[in-house]
Structure 1
Amino acid sequence: MVELLAPAGDFESLRAAVLNGANAVYIGGKEFSARASAGNFDRKEMIEAVKFCHAYNVKVYVTMNTLLRNDEIESALEYASFLYSQGVDALIIQDTGFLKALREHLPDFELHGSTQMTAHNLDSVNTLYEMGLKRVVLSRELSLDEIDNIVKNTKAEIEVFIHGALCISFSGQCLFSSMIGGRSGNRGRCAQPCRMQYSIDNKSERLHYLSPKDLSTLEFIEKLVGTGVHSLKIEGRMKRPEYVSTVVSAYRRALDNNRREDDLERVTQAFNRGGFTTAFLFGRQGRDMMSYERPKNWGTYLGRVVSSRGKFASILLKKPLRVGDGVEIFNKNTGAPVGSIKVNGKDVEEAKAGETAVIYLEGANKGDVLYKSLDIKLVREAEESFKGKNIRKVPIYGRFTAHKGQRIKFEIYHLSEASSQSVSDEPERALKAPLSVERALDALSKTGDTPFYFENIDVDMDDDIAIPVSKLNGLRRDAINSLLDELQGRREYKKIHFKLNAAAKKVKPEIAVQTGRIEIAEAASLAGCDIVFFGGDRLRINSGSFEEVLNTVGRRTAVYPWYSEIIMEEYKKLEKEAEGIKGMGVDRALCGNMGFYSALKSMGFDVYLDKGFNVFNSQACETFKNCGALLSPELNINQLKNTVLKTNNKTMVYSYGRVKLMVSRHCPIGSSRGHGREGCPDLCENKIHYLKDRTGEDFPVVTDWYCRSHIYNSKILCSLEHIKDIMDVNADYMLLSFLDETPEEAELVVKAYREAIDAAWEGDFNLTHSGERLLESLKGKITKGHLYRGVL
């Protein structure tokens, strides 16, 4: 049976999920969770959560899906050991270094790969499975056919999202919030710049071009189940319990072939951003996928204001309106709860569709469009499911034995085959009124606010004994508590001893250049770089083939192919290309994609790890066999230095370039012009476009030949004036990445870094003439990134 997996940001949401039919829940602790703003569970609450869920035969997965610094790994392992000992069913993780440490120290703990791991092709899934992940959560960009192909060709359990908020970027590959505000999505603190307004190419219209609608597959759930996926995941650890209740119950009914006619309307009312989208399940949706006008909850269309008088508005209703509902004026983003309603001059509790209702609504004018932002009836129904008197409970079975000369025993049996018992001193002979079977059952059957009810209790007792009710109550409480403990599934706590070994070294870094343009490769080579990584994202602005670059630049500079973090429909083509390059005698490559890394290794390549691997700690440097790993641009100078110090592997530091902020399978350029679907007539015009934010910053947008969009920082990261600090990191390579520079600009950058490194190696940290020229040319365009701030 397919698993329905629900979110829970706090205990009330957990109850809502479980009591409305979830088979499993995913929750975060107060430590290392990628939803730092959710309520989350402290250690005591975590234990209670496991007991509650396991009583209902519901699994508990805990999210530890953040990137970890070196100084956090030991405490993360200790927390993981605590979770393991308390019966948590699995961890959901992102950090590959943490994965390596968990497999070494807690080999029996079930691990799931977060969607933050960006698994979007078959080889990436199989690689993660071979590394010890039982389950992989796929990227939300995949089509139904792509999901089907992965499921049919892997041993890993596959989990997919079916409902809730979407990231416009491939999860795990977004640095937008991090680079512009210091709040990292990889650390659970995304500030959601995708929900802000932008203009495109300096046009006056400003809309929410990066804000997608929420995903809903309620109408197509059978198609997803038909692929054979193991788990269906609802997003929403930041959502209220009423939302969780409404959405989980709707999908539960759909999976059980017991739908309500109004289920889609109910989940729409619970939360939507202008309707729903199926994302990429059935192909690119273009503008239909997006919520340009408004990035937050819309509610459902209520009607229009036909007249207003003072602070009161008359509304021609398209759906019922009740006292307690919430309404909003759509084009003004203002609203209010409905405190009273008049229809034909009379006070009513509910106005029907088609009627004209008068309500207090300050600021409303004739013609305003109104939405119902909250439906009080739906909220109360949802609350009743997890707070009411008739909430769903789990049947248990009891056996009570009481005979003279023997200890009293109360045994309880759970459907999962778990059992418990409590015992007490032998009963006394009754001097007056003996204990009756009815009285015993009355005392033993009370389960209060526990998850259980007694389906049946067998009573085997003498008819002339006396047992106080207080003793019966104690037996019942002890037996139920013991059953909860048994169901919790505690395991031995393993004390973790973790240490990273220092590997002090001093190296003169080489200069490595990233580019997809042959003219830049030639200029960089002539200026003195040591390595050219060529290819990358197959951007439409790129020029030249790898063979051409090898035949020209390769005569004086090492040239290796570069494969980006996202590889989808072009996978087989790139495999064939890589085999051809290997045949040219090239034996190294730079790669950001976990699946393609495996393909390259199988061909005999030594691989440098690119940004897509999110190398955040020394363990991650050593998780994959590599000849150099690019350290995360989210690390500050001290963290970079510590990471390099505690690994024997070679490392790279991002030293110059426009940091890529996100990559999306959605094209905002084509979408903004009414297309963005399959077969788009190249509306991006093969040039660089720009998104301008509210502060006037221009973020370059470049599309590739597969219609994915790549958005880069408005500022250029340049560490040249801090060459002493960068040299002290002792990384083996400084990486210079080029996007929109001219050959002359690229030559100046490489020359300035070449001279600076050579001088610094001799103890001279002053700017050279080339360095001064470079900094002057970049005046007002430079960012230091996270070199001196890091991320939260």
Structure 2
Amino acid sequence: MLSTPVSEPAPHLNYKPELLSPAGNWECARAAVANGADAIYFGMPRFNARLRADNFTEEDLPELMTFLHKHGVRGYCAFNTLIFTGEIEDAEKQLKLLESAGVDAVIIQDLGLSRIVKACTPKLHLHASTQMTITSPEGLRFARKLGLDLAVLSRELSLRELAAFPKPDENALPLEVFVHGALCVAYSGQCLTSESLGRRSANRGECAQACRMPYELVVDGELRDLGDKRYLLSPQDLAAVNEIPELIKLGVRSFKIEGRLKTPEYVAAVTQVYRKAMDAAFAEMAGLPHGEAFSAKDKYALEMTFSRGLFSGWMHGVNHQELVGAKYAKKRGPFVGEVLYVDRDAVELTDFATPLKPGDGVVFENPSDTNREQGGYLYGVHENWIEFQRGKIDFRIVKPGTRVFKTSDMALEKELQASFKGDIAIRKRLELHLRVSGMIGAPLVLEALDAAQQVTARVESAMPLDVARNRPLTREGLQSQLERLGGTPYELRHLDVSLPDNAILPVSELNRLRRDLVEKLEQGINAATSIEVKSATTAAEMLAAVPKPRAPIASPVLHVLCRNMEQIEAALDANVQRMYVDFEDIRLYSDAVRLVRESGRDGLIFLATPRIQKAREDGFFKLIARAEPDGVLIRNLGAIEFFANAGLRMTGDFSLNVANPLTAEFLIESGLEQCTISYDLNIEQVLDLLKGAPPEWFEITLHQHMPMFHMEHCVFASFMSNGKSFLDCGRPCEKHNVKLRDRVGMEHPLKADVGCRNTLFNAVAQTGALFFQDLMNVGLRHYRVELLEETGRETAHIISTYQGLLSGRTSGVSLHQALKAQSQLGVTTGTLRQGDFR
């Protein structure tokens, strides 16, 4: 038997990273496939973080996966929202649907849902979403216990920080990073702004894009004049095309493009540009000739299809002077020039930085109100003059000096549309290994084999092999006929021949066999849409195995989170049983522990970890451990293993996103005593959770100023200094009290933590006091009050008020009324309100 490879790839890499493109609808899926994507990711109408995309339906799935697999492209379903207790069985049904349709992987945020994927839908690969907030090798190591097949890392990681992750081998988990698209200013999975301000949870796919709204900077009670900078939380878009070679060297296995809400033209352009850059990088590594990796034309295509300004994001570390331009928050194409002179229906510009032609679209910038900008399509272009159709532009509000941007190019749009309209050529063919065998007087057998040499399709000739008189079948002749696979998804890579030397079969019969074999193989692709897989367990069985709630016997306990020494002293005076301490400067933690110990009180002190931990930041953990607290408030996955090994008691904070019993069970089994219930749950969902697992596993925050944005972007450094990072910013965060004023006049406090990360807190406190009795009735006994900027006197009043609630001396209604009268800004029931539409 002969075994001859038809062709072999260059062996410069033992793996080839994939290019992963977004698909919010069918046209975007076609655009991605036509322009070089190795895989696409898409969502369904439920359980995905882009509910405003068109998304795909149950009826779409078979056709979508057949289309993708025919073109050698993988399909991943974004299943990246938190799952509430009452939704678990519906989520399992959707997972089984995806598995039966042949979906290659699901992208998951919820820890409990990840467990269901591995137990109930074993054919699905499991990818950790960036919403899981994996920011360090320690966090990755912990999350890997879920059985991950790939992890999508947070976008805030630099090349240097990525280098700290294990390189891909048989033991290391493959990693995926975002390389292009919109940057959320807050860490994915940690943004509660839409939830806090509008009951539209980003963790549930309903982001209201509050980061793209205008804000004013209030410093020490005075409005700071920032000129035309109003969009203080709106980053430029990520464009890491020039970092592709370095990312490949770092071992990144998947390059992800953001954009499930973008147009198919955007998907086509960005996929095309990154395909070209990746292919050039592969060729460079193999020592093969290649063209320019990234040209001016490529940059133009990226800017025209969607751009808020292009920047390398955090790839080279923080640069607080570059990340957020702050002058606009919506699409801006390439800069054209500034207005010199305004005439009737025409303006004169400075020399064009970007060419213009009739039919192109432009916008005249209006930093004071980007919703009232003038712009339109060009009627004529004459030297430095641009002309519009009469009456289309209100030139009374266009002044000399106004910047002009190009927003559309119909010729480019038509070129991009042509790439995915009509039939799409099969770019990435599936490799075929064929085996030809037979004996004289018996049919010729043609078989397709998979990588394990198992037969995947088999056909036989309608006539027997005969003895050749002059031109017997040869391997070369068979290869010439069987490799004619144009128009199919296949290419011949190996051919094994086991025939007598003198066998013959008509060429017409060989061609028929080839066509029949391809048809059977394609039927096999289509058959993936009807796979029925039976798992060893079900989600209902997993829920039933969670320990059941026991009749509570303990009295309710009040825990208080303090952010300064004055608040700690007030809590000690009030005989609080457990204090959580969350200082911006964690070097003061040892002083806080000493204060509690020397007070002679019995209260416990737990120290809070930073909300984010990156590579080489375990020094923060060591400092906390050296302070010798009674326990730790755990805010990131990387901290769990460290403090479990340190032998300290652990409570998981809200940032671990506990929304269902399976997530809670996983974290409790990992060493946590209690889990703080996610702030994404309303009271009905909280009660469902407490009925599905022991209430002693949980703690709820009854009073707080909701932490809305948590971000690597430092507003202090960006707008109160000329510094790029903490090394040269002058630390204005330590000298000033800063708030951000929103469009309705609310002033939200801004705080920096030990890692120079900023948190913006809601100006208005929320209380769950109205639901206290409901929580008591289902057995919850651990309640928390979180302080922010309260004085010692205000702290004492708040603690006393809630102690009265827990002891039964006051009702939830009375407490709510008392706090609302006491607070200048008032108190709301916030995210716990009943009747939530989510």
What's the TM-score, normalizing by structure 1? 0.86
Note if contact 2:559-2:783 (Cα within 8 Å) is conserved in structure 1: yes
- Which position in structure 2 is the counterpart of 1:548? 594
- Which position in structure 1 is the counterpart of 2:19? 4
Name the SS for the 1:112 alignment partner: strand
Q: Between 165-174 and 153-162, report the one with greater CA deviation.
A: 153-162
The one of 11, 16, 30 aligned to 2:31: 16
The yes-or-no answer on 1:97 pairing with 2:112 is: yes
The one of 708, 729, 736 aligned to 2:757: 708
The one of 770, 786, 789 aligned to 2:831: 786
- Which position in structure 1 is the counterpart of 2:798? 749
- Which position in structure 2 is the counterpart of 1:597? 640
Q: Which amino acid aligns with 1:705?
A: V
1:426 deviation in Å? 5.7
Name the SS for the 1:35 alignment partner: coil
Q: Which amino acid aligns with 1:175?
A: L
Q: Which amino acid aligns with 2:332?
A: W
**Counterparts in 2 of 1:194-273, with a 5 A limit?**
194-201=211-218, 202-203=223-224, 207-257=230-280, 258=291, 259-262=293-296, 263-273=298-308
Q: Which amino acid aligns with 2:538?
A: I
1:478 deviation in Å? 4.5
Counterpart Cα distance in 1 of 2:344 and 2:532: 66
Counterpart Cα distance in 2 of 1:482 and 1:198: 57
Counterpart Cα distance in 2 of 1:415 and 1:568: 40
Note if contact 1:513-1:529 (Cα within 8 Å) is conserved in structure 2: yes
Moved over 4 A (4+): 304-309, 312-316, 392-403, 405-427, 444-448, 450-458, 460-467, 471-478, 486-491, 770-773
- Which position in structure 2 is the counterpart of 1:523? 570
Note if contact 1:516-1:543 (Cα within 8 Å) is conserved in structure 2: no
Counterpart Cα distance in 1 of 2:651 and 2:340: 65
- Which position in structure 1 is the counterpart of 2:175? 158
The yes-or-no answer on 1:87 pairing with 2:102 is: yes
Q: Which amino acid aligns with 1:163?
A: H
- Which position in structure 2 is the counterpart of 1:327? 362
The yes-or-no answer on 1:78 pairing with 2:107 is: no
- Which position in structure 2 is the counterpart of 1:386? 420
1:355 deviation in Å? 5.2
- Which position in structure 1 is the counterpart of 2:709? 662
1:225–1:741 Cα change, 3 Å: same
The one of 629, 634, 639 aligned to 2:675: 629
1:416 deviation in Å? 12
Q: Which amino acid aligns with 2:712?
A: R
1:425 deviation in Å? 11
Note if contact 1:328-1:334 (Cα within 8 Å) is conserved in structure 2: yes
The one of 498, 523, 531 aligned to 2:540: 498
The yes-or-no answer on 1:568 pairing with 2:614 is: yes
1:34 deviation in Å? 0.8
Counterpart Cα distance in 2 of 1:372 and 1:26: 30
1:269–1:766 Cα change, 3 Å: closer
1:357–1:476 Cα change, 3 Å: farther
1:193 deviation in Å? 0.3
- Which position in structure 1 is the counterpart of 2:475? none
1:705 deviation in Å? 3.5
Q: Which amino acid aligns with 2:253?
A: H
Name the SS for the 1:555 alignment partner: coil
Note if contact 1:326-1:337 (Cα within 8 Å) is conserved in structure 2: yes
- Superposed CA deviations along residues 228-267 of structure 1, whole A, max 9, x for unmatched, are 2222111111111111111111111111214252222321
Q: Which amino acid aligns with 1:209?
A: L
- Which position in structure 1 is the counterpart of 2:200? 183
1:572–1:320 Cα change, 3 Å: closer
Q: Which amino acid aligns with 2:198?
A: G
Note if contact 2:610-2:753 (Cα within 8 Å) is conserved in structure 1: no
Counterpart Cα distance in 1 of 2:507 and 2:759: 83
1:422 deviation in Å? 8.5
Name the SS for the 2:251 alignment partner: coil
Note if contact 2:101-2:530 (Cα within 8 Å) is conserved in structure 1: yes
1:203–1:575 Cα change, 3 Å: closer
Counterpart Cα distance in 1 of 2:142 and 2:641: 7
Note if contact 1:592-1:610 (Cα within 8 Å) is conserved in structure 2: yes
1:96–1:420 Cα change, 3 Å: closer
1:683–1:779 Cα change, 3 Å: closer
1:25–1:766 Cα change, 3 Å: closer
Counterpart Cα distance in 1 of 2:454 and 2:421: 27
- Which position in structure 1 is the counterpart of 2:526? 485
Counterpart Cα distance in 2 of 1:719 and 1:497: 31
1:741 deviation in Å? 0.4
Counterpart Cα distance in 2 of 1:130 and 1:122: 13
- Superposed CA deviations along residues 395-439 of structure 1, whole A, max 9, x for unmatched, are 578999999x99999978999999876979969xxxxxxxxxxxx
Counterpart Cα distance in 2 of 1:291 and 1:717: 33
Q: Between 98-107 and 207-216, report the one with greater CA deviation.
A: 98-107
1:700 deviation in Å? 0.3
Name the SS for the 1:624 alignment partner: helix
Q: Between 10-19 and 653-662, report the one with greater CA deviation.
A: 10-19
Counterpart Cα distance in 1 of 2:197 and 2:174: 36
1:74–1:371 Cα change, 3 Å: same
- Which position in structure 2 is the counterpart of 1:347? none
Provide the alpha-carbon RMSD of the alignment: 3.9
- Superposed CA deviations along residues 196-247 of structure 1, whole A, max 9, x for unmatched, are 0000003365600000000111122222222122221111111111111111
Note if contact 1:317-1:357 (Cα within 8 Å) is conserved in structure 2: no
Q: Between 325-334 and 542-551, report the one with greater CA deviation.
A: 542-551
1:269–1:497 Cα change, 3 Å: closer
**Counterparts in 2 of 1:333-372, with a 5 A limit?**
333-338=373-378, 340-341=379-380, 343=382, 356-360=385-389, 361-364=392-395, 365=398, 367=400, 368-372=402-406
Counterpart Cα distance in 1 of 2:734 and 2:46: 46
Note if contact 2:559-2:580 (Cα within 8 Å) is conserved in structure 1: yes
Q: Which amino acid aligns with 2:418?
A: E
User: Structure 1 regions of 5+ residues with no counterpart?
Assistant: 344-353, 428-440
Q: Which amino acid aligns with 1:124?
A: G
Name the SS for the 2:66 alignment partner: helix
The one of 53, 56, 63 aligned to 2:68: 53
1:390 deviation in Å? 7.0
Counterpart Cα distance in 2 of 1:572 and 1:394: 44
Q: Which amino acid aligns with 2:42?
A: I
- Superposed CA deviations along residues 50-82 of structure 1, whole A, max 9, x for unmatched, are 222222332222111100110111111121122
1:129 deviation in Å? 1.1
Counterpart Cα distance in 1 of 2:232 and 2:774: 39
Counterpart Cα distance in 1 of 2:658 and 2:429: 48
Q: Between 152-161 and 555-564, report the one with greater CA deviation.
A: 152-161
Name the SS for the 1:662 alignment partner: strand
- Superposed CA deviations along residues 541-582 of structure 1, whole A, max 9, x for unmatched, are x88724323323563312222223213377332332344345
1:401–1:610 Cα change, 3 Å: same
Counterpart Cα distance in 2 of 1:717 and 1:445: 69
1:18 deviation in Å? 2.0
Name the SS for the 1:706 alignment partner: coil
**Counterparts in 2 of 1:408-487, with a 5 A limit?**
478-479=519-520, 481-485=522-526
What's the TM-score, normalizing by structure 2? 0.81
1:86–1:538 Cα change, 3 Å: farther
- Which position in structure 1 is the counterpart of 2:472? none
User: Structure 2 regions of 5+ residues with no counterpart?
Assistant: 1-15, 281-290, 367-371, 464-479, 498-502
Note if contact 2:190-2:709 (Cα within 8 Å) is conserved in structure 1: yes
Counterpart Cα distance in 2 of 1:247 and 1:512: 50
1:486 deviation in Å? 6.2
1:93 deviation in Å? 0.5
Q: How many aligned positions are there?
A: 759
Name the SS for the 1:200 alignment partner: strand
The yes-or-no answer on 1:719 pairing with 2:719 is: no
